[in-house]
Amino acid sequence: MSEAALKQDTGQQTLDDDELLRVVNLKKYFPVGKTFFAKNRRQVKAVDDVSFSVKKGEVVGLVGESGSGKTTIGRMIMRLIDPTSGSIQFGETDVATAEGKQLMAMRKAIQIIFQDPYGSLNPRMKVGPIIREGLDVHRMYSMAERNERIARLLETVGLGPAHVNRHPHEFSGGQRQRIGIARALAVSPQLLVADEPVSALDVSVQAQVLNLLQDLKEEYEFSMLMISHDLGVVEHACDKVIVLYLGRVMEMAPAEKLYADPVHPYTQSLLSAMPVPDPRRRHDQNRIILKGDIPSPINPPSGCVFRTRCPIATDECARVVPPLEETSPGHFKACIHR
């Protein structure tokens, strides 16, 4: 199904055979401040009309500056927070309305790797119980089989069975993130939400964790939604890339297309700012420097939210909210300029 067609319906949907997740017109507004009349309260528009899909076995990257809504989207897909409007269809489950056994099954099928490997592990629990917790909650396997699976998962992520009796403070940041990955994989999820999985790690460890995730994806056959501000990480790991700005999708395309030929001014500026790992090449001449700061999501600009920083903005950009349109097969952008 084309991404443009995602806009047509926000009700109960039937996914295509190759689709695992479909997000349609997703919005999340957070009320802020206090007024006498609740309906007049100001709102932070964290996510504003976002649509995309994730296919089976696909790795989709959500990229953008801080405050663009990446993590909020991931948390809504996990049902850690409820959407203001829109729909999230996971298989036959409507994530926003799931309850009881259906919600429990969805939580088993969608797991998350948190950004902070230090804060995401309970410091009072040992590694074995941390990984086994999901197996206990979902009543998977016998106790002996659970222990065997934990030992096998630890070996898979580059640790050892002897580590089950250690506490998180006895490990490095990279090792803790590996424990977090093992915990997420314990219940055999179909979709893994990786929220900045390597941003808190040393550069030397980042490549190890990324390569590990790619190897595990092939072995365990799950799809992945990777949230990151690092364009180099996304290029290395993702099949499709979605570029967000102030809660809206600016551009969406297969990774190879987007990096070879970005068509939105915001994407072009992001890619021009990527560091070049070659001291003999000068990168400053092609760099696009955006003026000003990101506007407040409480009071976003009218029309195109990027227009206040866009180098090609016109008066029309203040009046028209650009739709996400297909410029070439599989390549979409939200810009009125051709």
Question: Under a CB-based contact definition with an 8 Å cutoff, are residues 3 and 326 in contact?
Answer: yes
CA 233, chain centre distance (Å)? 13
Reply yes or no on whether the pLDDT at 8 is more than 50.
no
pLDDT in tens, 81-133: 999 999 999 999 999 899 999 999 999 999 999 988 889 999 999 999 999 99
Q: How confident is the model at residue 152 (pLDDT cuts 50, 70, 90)?
A: very high
**Bigger pLDDT: 88 or 207?**
88
Residue range 12-16: mean pLDDT, rounded: 73
Question: Under a CB-based contact definition with an 8 Å cutoff, are residues 300 and 291 in contact?
Answer: no
CA distance 186 to 136: 11
Residue range 259-278: mean pLDDT, rounded: 86
Q: Find all residues with CB under 8 Å of 80, minimum gap 6, and list them.
A: none
Reply yes or no on whether the pLDDT at 327 is more than 80.
yes
Of the ranges 175-189, 200-214, 264-278, the best mean pLDDT one: 175-189
String of b and e for 114-140 (b: at least 16 CB within 10 Å)?
A: bbebeebbeeeebbbebbbebbeeeeb
CA distance 258 to 43: 32
What distance separates the 2 farthest-apart alpha carbons in the chain? 68
CA distance 43 to 13: 29
Q: How confident is the model at residue 207 (pLDDT cuts 50, 70, 90)?
A: confident
CA atoms within 13 A on the CB side of 208: 14
pLDDT of residue 230: 86
- Exposed, middle or buried: residue 206 (CB in 10 Å: 0-12, 13-18, 19+)? buried
Parallel, antiparallel or unpaired: strands 85-90 and 191-195: unpaired
Which stretches of 196-316 are DSSP H helices?
Answer: 203-220, 231-237, 255-260, 265-272
Question: Tell me, what amino acid is at 325?
Answer: E
pLDDT in tens, 28-57: 999 887 665 556 678 999 999 999 999 999
Choose among 319, 317, 228, 226: nearest CA to 264.
317
Integer angstrom CA distances of residue 308 from 44, 206, 290, 313, 337: 18, 34, 10, 8, 15
Question: Under a CB-based contact definition with an 8 Å cutoff, are residues 104 and 182 in contact?
Answer: no
Choose among 249, 274, 270: nearest CA to 331.
249
pLDDT in tens, 247-267: 999 999 999 999 999 999 999
Q: Domains along the chain?
A: 4-333 (3.40.50.300)
CA distance 140 to 137: 8
Q: How confident is the model at residue 287 (pLDDT cuts 50, 70, 90)?
A: confident
